[in-house]
Every structure is written in structure tokens, then in C-alpha cells.
Structure 1
Amino acid sequence: MLQNQVVYLDCYDGITAPLLLGALFEMGLDLNVLKKAMDALPLPDHTITSQKQYTPVRGSSATLTLTTPETLSPWKLAETPVLLPPGMLKEPVRQHVLSMVQRIAEATGRVRNISVKDVQLPDMTPLLWFIAVTLGLDMLNLHTLYASPLPMPSGTQQGPQGHKPLLLPETLELLAGTGATWRPTTIGRELITLEGAALLAELASFEPVNFSMTQVAYGCVPGNNASDGGQSLRLCLGNLSPSSRRAPQPAPSLVQTTQGQAEAETDWVTVLETNIDNMSGELLGGLLDHLLELGALDVSYTPMQMKKNRPATLIRVIAPPELGEQLAMSLLRETTTLGVRFQHMQRLKARREPRTIQTSFGPMLVKVKYLGEQLISASPEYEECARVARERNIPLADVYEVARSAVQTLIIGSRKKV
């Protein structure tokens, strides 16, 4: 598994879902592990394959094919949430997939002047691509993606209803407003598919980035004949430099304390804030649980006063940097706010580990705090104390006192060793 890395997608030849998945296979994604994860989902029967390729460059290809005729019926995009209920996938993966489907539905609806709920595609193959690619990125622990400027071909292609631009209107509409930058190209074929555009719009940032490259992989689709040179995508893996416009990734490091003995880890988090003055307590309670389910590290509410003397609530969310934009979008969708503030912040943090200690009530679990290898403090675990209190039918406060006493013995013993 790749840890704390940033991905730069060099889309010199465009981007498609097969190219991106092929690059992930070349980067080390295990085909059998991905197959097993996909097979565990109630999805249409399909096959996923990968092969080493040497044209147009050395890399890997990826194919995904529906295998039963009944799955080739039209796919109504509005029905996708029913196909992917909570619990089927890790929630961040599921949310990304649903968001990509929604992006396609909205872009297609605008171009065709139809309702989003009426948008449909010929079959569910794009949905399977979205799941496969997003699962693959998650399995490799790649959560921060940047993309290069995109090639914009000129010319047209023959479609069922006549000639269409090589860059389909739906594809261009999908990328509008994402910050994507474009460069003209003389390549006379479709370079960016609808699925490729949706993956970029949802998962990647187009802002400039400085990074040190550690690994390169290519996704490839070989040509069909001598005049067709095929297509490829370059995936660069690296680490953000300090001058990058985004926050550095939360790669933990160690910082020596002034005592010269203990060490603290450092990492980066994204802090989101918004003010709410017109939501009920019930809705705010449900929001907090939902944000934590999506991967927020912490969520807090602070009473405040807003304009017109209205009592209000400051919502503060602490999140891993790679989830910052997703959680900000959740706040915009699920609250009455019109804007979300965010900033990237570095933090020092102690290491916390569970540990079992002996007490007069038997073995109990406590939380132990370390700086480096030095034990700094420990505290009783609430759920553990509540369990003992229920089992013995004694006051919770009494269990806490016993646990605290055992914790103090643990701390004193640790300091004597030092």
C-alpha cells in the first residue's frame, strides 16, 4: 500500500476510465483483490482484465465488460442511490461514485434540455468503471489527485444522429467550472470520454502543483491498426513540496521537544467552518453523526450571536486534507449555509494507544498517551468503565476511581524506568 502520496495525472493524450485504471494496475493495484471487492457487490455480472502493453508506451491496459445480455438495458442515472445503499462500499468511496453519477446526470440534462431524473445511458458500464477506479485509488491509499491541462481536439465524429464535436458537449459541460485548463491539439479523435471527465471533475484538482516525483506508471490502450497509435495516460506519484498551493499531505514526522527526550508527531489537517442560524437541534445532531461517518476527525458546535441578534451555531470540522472538499460539499448540500470557510493547519500530536491494565475489578482497557516512546499520561476508557459498572451493578464513579488509581500506578512505574 502506498502511503501519504500525491498523484499527478499527465493527460497529454487525454483521459478515459480504462487508461486511469490501467495506470493503477501498473502502479501496483492487485487485479485479484479488486475483482474480489467488486464481486462482493450486488452489481451486474462483469469481467475485469489487465495486460502488460508496450505500445504506445510500456504500461498496463484495463478492460471491463458486462457479460450477460440483460445487463445491457438502459441505465437510468437517478436510480443509482438505490443500487448503492449505505454499507455496500466505504462511505467516502460510495459518495465519490454517487457524486460522479450526479455530475453526469446534471451535465447531460443541461446539454439535452431534459430533467436530471430522465437522464439515462445505454448500460451500467460507466457505473462499474467509477466503482473500480475509486476502489483502486482507495486500495492504494491515493486520495489527493492533480491533473494537467487537457487537450482539446478540433473536428467532428459521426454519431447516431449526425456529426458531433470530438469533445462531446456533455463532456465539456461536465468539466466547466472545475478549473480545468485546456490546450489545443491536432489529434483527430476523442481524447476525453464522459467517464474520464467525471473522474477528473470529482477526484482531481487542476491548480498548479510543485511535487517531487518518486514513481511513474502508464495506462495504455493499444491502437487497432498501423495508423492508430493508441492512447496513454501518465500517472506520476510523488510528494508535495513546501511551496505547493495545497496543504502538504499528512505524512507524520517527528519533532523533538524542548526536553530533548520525548518526540511528537506532526501532520496536516483541514479545518472547515460555517455559521448556521436557521437549523433545528435535531438536524444539527444528525449532521454531526453524518460528518463523522464520512471521515471527519472531529466535529464541534459553538453557540454564537449573528446579525439581527439571532442565536446561531458555529460548526467546526477537522478533517484529513484529502477529505476536506468532500466534507465542505456535504455542508453545502445538507445545511442552510451559503458558504464554507476552510484552511490547512499543521498540528503537533501525541500518539494514543489502548492498553489493558490490571485493577481490583480485573483487566480493564485504558487510553495511554505517548510522546515518542515516553509515556506521558493515561486515562480510563469510558465504555470500559461503563461495562464494569453494569456487570457489577456499582456506581460508575466508583469504577472510575479504581481505574484512575491503577493508571497512576502505571504512570509512576513507567517514569521510574526512565
Structure 2
Amino acid sequence: MTSNMALLDCSLGISGPLFLGALVDAGLDVAHLNKALSALPSPLASFTITAHKEYKTVSGTLVRIDVGEQAGLASWRLATTEALLERSALPECVRRRVLAIVERMAQIVGRTRGILPEDVTLPRYEWLVILIAVTLGVDMLKLERVYATPLPMLTGSYVSEDGERVPLVSPETVALLASVQAPWRMAEGAVELISLEGAALLAELATFEHVPSFVITGAGYGLTPQHSGSLRLCLGYLQEAQKISTENREGLADTDEVTVIETNIDNMSGELLGALMDHLLTLGALDVSYTPMQMKKNRPATLVRVIGKPEDGERLSMALLHETTTLGVRMQRMQRLKARREQRSLQTPLGPLLVKVKLLGDQILSAAPEYEECARLAREQGVPLAQVYDVAQHAVRTLIIGYNKE
């Protein structure tokens, strides 16, 4: 199975060289990368990337940007970037992403320093090469999705080369990550762990969403000479993608992901719980169930379990906090293996009605009449509901189950 997703472990920070080193260590071909970079317009074509294995706390790859004789160390502006990319032979998706990264940096730096984005002077050309190389590397490895873990939030400051005391996480970096609502965790350290270009790469190329269950096929570690930390990049693919064949799905179940939300409630009436179920289903819950249970001090209580789509998880959880007496809810994302369901119309002696059919691939496993349909026919024909069920079940066995066995 081809690896089409990656997970970046950012617990020790991130920068452009760390990201690129991790990609190379995970399998990115440096020769192919340099060949693509050599086709860039001047002065970018004068840069080359070298990589070698090192061992610090882990064995990983350290990359360097070699500056060509004609490259120079001049800084560049947003307008320069757009013009350079338009003259390059990079894939359109790579050009678009690199420009978006530079625009993010210019917007944030301009806002925090009180100047226009077009007047922002961005780092030297070798840093633009890093941005291009990382974006191109993600494209070359055919990574459709890149996930990132929470970032280390350091407190305190350090003394720069100019002798000034500056924060361990720059205001520009904080503002850029805040713009994409990146998650943080408190950490300790005395060196800068998150660079501005590293934050910009994450903001454009990665997502901080909940990481689904996936199969790891390989890993790479990026290193830098500045500190002993590393960036781990795990390659893999989603579990549900490992065995589904589009050519022959007969006998296979469908898979998807759901968010399961639970809470224990011991001080709400049955009337309020009934109204809660209706409200949650209106909000888009796929299923709501109540299970009797015993809590501490042997108090009777109710376990409320809500199943919803991943994108609805937060809304349903907030509804539980607002509409119930609970002080907290538990959320987890789970993979679901499911049979396919569809409705079919049947002609019966009492009239047409819809039945629910359960299928695994193309095989019909079972079928059952819909309650609302049976209740409708009972009202229309003036017969007992149990009689309608008998007629409906006979029609199901004869017309669907029996037909399927022939």
C-alpha cells in the first residue's frame, strides 16, 4: 500500500531545515530535488541541497543549503517571489502553495510591525529555497495529507546575536500560528524551537485536526546543528484504505469514522432526557442511546452515548454541556465498519411500502419493513399494525430475500 499521509511530531519544535531533513530521511530523493531546483530562475538555480546522516539523540538527516557564487545573500520581497515562481517550471500546485506560504509570512510580519505586506523584507534567498524544497518534497512523496501534533510553547527569552533579549517564540510566529488556531502545550527550554518559516510551512501544508488511526510504513528524522532536538515524520496510510478494492467490492463492508461522545448523568428527569434526545438528533447526531448504570455511592444514573460525524463532534458536545447537568463529556474518534443500507419499495396486498435492506457488497443479508410505513398502511387500511407487519414480512421474504437466493 502506498503511503499517502504523514504525521509530524512537533513536540521538539519545527523549522524549515528540520522539515526538509525529515522528508529526506523518510525517502525523498535529494538528487531529484536538486534537479528540480536547478530549473528555477536565477538566483535560485545557484543553490543546491546536500544531506548527510548524523547521530545526536536519534539517527537522522541534516540538510544544508549551499549558496552558489551568483546567488548572493540579498533578502527578497513578496513581489519578487511571485515573479520568480511565474518563471519557474515547478508544478502549479507547488507554486501556488509556496506563494501562499510567503504571503502568510508577509501578512503577519507586516501586521506585527505596522507596515504594508508588500514592504516587508523577508529572509535571505536560501530560506525561499527551503520553502520551495519542502513544498516540492511533500509533492514528490505524494503526501495527500500531513498532520501535525501540538507545538511546544516556551516561556522566557534569550540574547540574540545583536545582544538584544528576545522571546523564545517570536511575536510573528505566535501570530501566524494563532491565525490557524494551532494547538500548543507548555514546554521547557532555553533555545528557539519554532521558526517563522517552520510555522508558515505548517500553516499551509499541515493540519492540526485529530489524527485518525493509520498504518505507519516508515519514518524519518530531521536534524539541525543549532540544537540537539529532532523532528520526526511518520509516513503511512489510513486503515480503511488498506484493503478496499474499487474493482470488486462484493463481500466487503464500508468503513468510515465517527465521533463517540459519552457522559454520565444522575440528576435529570426522564422528561428532560427525552427532550435531549430529540434535540441531539435535530443537531445531526447519527444515534443517541441511554444506558442505566450505577455511580459512586450506588446512585442510579444514565450513561448518555451520542454518535455523530467527526465534523459535528464539537457541536454535539457543546449541546450536552448546555442542555444537561453534566460537568464534562468524553470524546473519541473511532473507525466504523458497516453494512450498506438502502430503501426499496414493495407492492403488498395492502399497498406499496418501503423496506430497509441490509447489504454487504452486492449481497443482501436481511431486510425489514419500516415502522412508519407499516403504521401508515395500518391507518389507511384500518387494520391492526401487527397484521400489516405480517404482510410486510411475508413480502420481504418472498420478493427480496427469496429473489436474492435464486
- Looking at structure 2, the residues matched to 63 and 129 of structure 1 have their Cα atoms a distance apart, in angstroms, of 10
- Cα–Cα, structure 1 residues 187 and 110, in superposed 2: closer, same or farther, change >3 Å? same
* RMSD (Å) for aligned C-alpha atoms: 2.6
In structure 2, the partner of 1:111 is 112
In structure 2, the partner of 1:9 is 8
Deviation of 1:83 after TM superposition, in Å, equals 1.0
Deviation of 1:163 after TM superposition, in Å, equals 1.7
- Looking at structure 2, the residues matched to 70 and 40 of structure 1 have their Cα atoms a distance apart, in angstroms, of 14
In structure 1, the partner of 2:217 is 214
CA contact (8 A) 1:215 1:238 kept: yes
Of the candidates 227, 234, 238, which is equivalent to residue 236 of structure 1?
234
Per-residue Cα deviation, 1:75-96 (whole angstroms, up to 9, x for no partner): 1223211111166210001100
In structure 2, the partner of 1:84 is 85
Instruction: Point out where structure 2 has 5 or more consecutive residues left out of the alignment.
Output: 257-406
CA contact (8 A) 1:158 1:164 kept: yes
- Looking at structure 1, the residues matched to 94 and 42 of structure 2 have their Cα atoms a distance apart, in angstroms, of 15
Per-residue Cα deviation, 1:369-409 (whole angstroms, up to 9, x for no partner): xxxxxxxxxxxxxxxxxxxxxxxxxxxxxxxxxxxxxxxxx
CA contact (8 A) 2:41 2:88 kept: no
- Looking at structure 1, the residues matched to 26 and 152 of structure 2 have their Cα atoms a distance apart, in angstroms, of 24
Deviation of 1:46 after TM superposition, in Å, equals 1.6
Letter in 1 for 2:15: T
The 5 A counterparts of 1:9-408 are 9-44=8-43, 45-68=46-69, 71-85=72-86, 88-159=89-160, 160=162, 162-210=164-212, 211-222=214-225, 230-241=228-239, 253-256=245-248
- Cα–Cα, structure 1 residues 179 and 9, in superposed 2: closer, same or farther, change >3 Å? same
Per-residue Cα deviation, 1:172-220 (whole angstroms, up to 9, x for no partner): 1111131310011111110011111111000000011122222221111
- Looking at structure 1, the residues matched to 125 and 151 of structure 2 have their Cα atoms a distance apart, in angstroms, of 26
Deviation of 1:158 after TM superposition, in Å, equals 2.4
CA contact (8 A) 2:3 2:235 kept: no
CA contact (8 A) 2:108 2:176 kept: yes
Q: TM-score, normalised by structure 2?
A: 0.57
CA contact (8 A) 1:253 1:267 kept: no
- Looking at structure 1, the residues matched to 61 and 103 of structure 2 have their Cα atoms a distance apart, in angstroms, of 29
CA contact (8 A) 2:23 2:137 kept: yes
Deviation of 1:145 after TM superposition, in Å, equals 0.3
Deviation of 1:112 after TM superposition, in Å, equals 0.4
- Looking at structure 2, the residues matched to 18 and 129 of structure 1 have their Cα atoms a distance apart, in angstroms, of 7
- Looking at structure 2, the residues matched to 18 and 122 of structure 1 have their Cα atoms a distance apart, in angstroms, of 14
- Looking at structure 2, the residues matched to 267 and 79 of structure 1 have their Cα atoms a distance apart, in angstroms, of 47
- Looking at structure 2, the residues matched to 88 and 122 of structure 1 have their Cα atoms a distance apart, in angstroms, of 23
Per-residue Cα deviation, 1:101-144 (whole angstroms, up to 9, x for no partner): 00000010011010011001242122111111111111111131
Letter in 1 for 2:201: L
- Looking at structure 1, the residues matched to 106 and 85 of structure 2 have their Cα atoms a distance apart, in angstroms, of 16
CA contact (8 A) 1:6 1:238 kept: yes
Instruction: Point out where structure 1 has 5 or more consecutive residues left out of the alignment.
Output: 243-247, 269-418
Q: Percent of counterpart pairs with the same letter? A: 45
In structure 2, the partner of 1:309 is none
Q: How many residues were matched structurally?
A: 251
- Looking at structure 1, the residues matched to 187 and 225 of structure 2 have their Cα atoms a distance apart, in angstroms, of 20
- Looking at structure 2, the residues matched to 42 and 76 of structure 1 have their Cα atoms a distance apart, in angstroms, of 16
- Cα–Cα, structure 1 residues 214 and 122, in superposed 2: closer, same or farther, change >3 Å? closer
Letter in 2 for 1:253: S
CA contact (8 A) 2:215 2:237 kept: yes
Letter in 1 for 2:215: S
CA contact (8 A) 1:55 1:222 kept: no
- Looking at structure 1, the residues matched to 132 and 93 of structure 2 have their Cα atoms a distance apart, in angstroms, of 12
CA contact (8 A) 2:104 2:200 kept: yes
CA contact (8 A) 1:60 1:220 kept: yes
Letter in 2 for 1:144: R
Letter in 2 for 1:57: V
- Looking at structure 2, the residues matched to 239 and 179 of structure 1 have their Cα atoms a distance apart, in angstroms, of 25
- Looking at structure 1, the residues matched to 42 and 239 of structure 2 have their Cα atoms a distance apart, in angstroms, of 41
Q: TM-score, normalised by structure 1?
A: 0.56
CA contact (8 A) 1:56 1:222 kept: no
